[in-house]
Amino acid sequence: MDTIPVTISDVYDEYLETLENLPSEIQQNMGELRAMDDDYQRLLYKYSRLKKSYNKRARQGADLFSTSQIQNRLQVEKEYKNAMKKQDQKIDLAMRMHDLLSRHIERIDEQAEKHGFSLVSVEQENTGGY
């Protein structure tokens, strides 16, 4: 059984087919990232406002161990944790996007290597060796 020789063009065309959904995935993830950032900014604003209010009362001599001050401090801590959790979610999504792109790059590299092509040499040929 004879095998049909594979050209760099064949590998490239096959790779392009795998990229078909990539722009929409990235666009969806970027929209999610923007929404997360908006949530983070709201949480950060709320945290800053509560912290400023708590510190102001503390400077004015409020009893730090009163029920209301303890509740205020707990609310400040809760908002801080919520903001950090949202920031961690943003980082996680950005890392997943990076991994998605890396997998696509690795795939073309693997296909090229499998078929004995060097993408570096092809690129150098196309750019005049630079």
Report CA torsion sign: 58, 60, 63, 66. Answer: negative
Tell me: the pLDDT tens digits for 10-40?
Answer: 877 888 888 888 899 999 999 999 999 999 9
What proportion of the chain, given as a percentage, has pLDDT over 70? 86
- Evaluate whether 33 touches 90 at the Cβ level (below 8 Å): yes
CA–CA dist 125, 21 (Å, integer): 29
Residue boundaries of the structural domains of the chain: 8-118
Tokens found for residue 83: 């903001």
